[in-house]
Amino acid sequence: AQTVTQSQPEMSVQEAETVTLSCTYDTSESDYYLFWYKQPPSRQMILVIRQEAYKQQNATENRFSVNFQKAAKSFSLKISDSQLGDAAMYFCAYRFPNNAGNMLTFGGGTRLMVKP
Amino acid sequence: KAGVTQTPRYLIKTRGQQVTLSCSPISGHRSVSWYQQTPGQGLQFLFEYFSETQRNKGNFPGRFSGRQFSNSRSEMNVSTLELGDSALYLCASTPYGTGISPLHFGNGTRLTVT
């Protein structure tokens, strides 16, 4: 079974600084999708960034980028120029690419605090 | 375009009762998934429906069931509620059966069982 591990339950960062959240996963598949979701106190899960495993290039979305290391099964999220609005729970998630459906396996989450 | 809508937002039930939660996906989305979120177990997959058919089911007892209607709206039902069923229940939709298209989540229904 696939597992996703986020080893940092809590992280803090100074506003305008850079922070990296860690995620490792375990799978025997060669093709899959990885996601980072953000969950603010409003409870709604919001997509931050996504990565297709067959693409070697790391995904970027504005201030958010990933460091995808397929051999190491690592998928870390870097947030640059942190803003107060970035404070939230962040979840790493794994999904099969095939017709098995859209089921996501989530990590335990990292609570990010941003200090003004 | 309206997002994923879940009703009700909060629910308080007594142990032994049953409950039905509702989810309206984004227009045009055919896949609806349900997740349970608790402090102890984190986010766990309940089940997924695609074009009115259950495609996947997580490791939950038979008390948890769901269905999807022809307009893609979905309901999940929990019978014989237990204290441990207290959780945030999240619904998510996506247009297709598979692929990189991300899941879009609703705001969830907070269920408290007393």
Which DSSP string do the residues of A80-109 spell out, in sequence order?
-S--GGG-EEEEEEEE--STT-S-EEE---
Separation between Cα atoms, residue B41 and residue B44, nearest integer Å? 7
> How many CB pairs below 8 A link A and B?
67
B97 pLDDT higher than 90: no
Contact present, B64 and B95 (Cβ < 8 Å):
no
A104 touches chain B (CB under 8 A): yes
Rounded to the nearest integer, the mean pLDDT of chain B is 94
Name the strand (E) or helix (H) holding A37. strand A33-39
Contact present, A95 and A50 (Cβ < 8 Å):
no
Overall average pLDDT of the B76-100 stretch: 91
A45 touches chain B (CB under 8 A): yes
Q: Which distant-in-sequence residues (6+ apart) come within 8 Å of A57 by Cβ?
A: none
Which residues of chain B lie closer than 8 angstroms to A47, CB-CB?
102-104
Tens digits of residue pLDDT in B1-49: 789 999 999 999 999 999 999 999 999 999 999 999 999 899 999 999 9
Q: Strand pairing partners for A113?
A: A12
β-strand A19-21 against A10-14: which pairing, if any?
Answer: unpaired
Query: Mean pLDDT, 10 residues at a time, over chain A (116 residues)?
Result: 92 98 94 94 92 91 96 97 97 82 91 97
Which has the closest alpha carbon to B22: B55, B67, B58?
Answer: B67
User: Which residue from A minimizes the CA distance to B38?
Assistant: A108
Which residues of chain B lie closer than 8 angstroms to A45, CB-CB?
90, 92, 103, 105
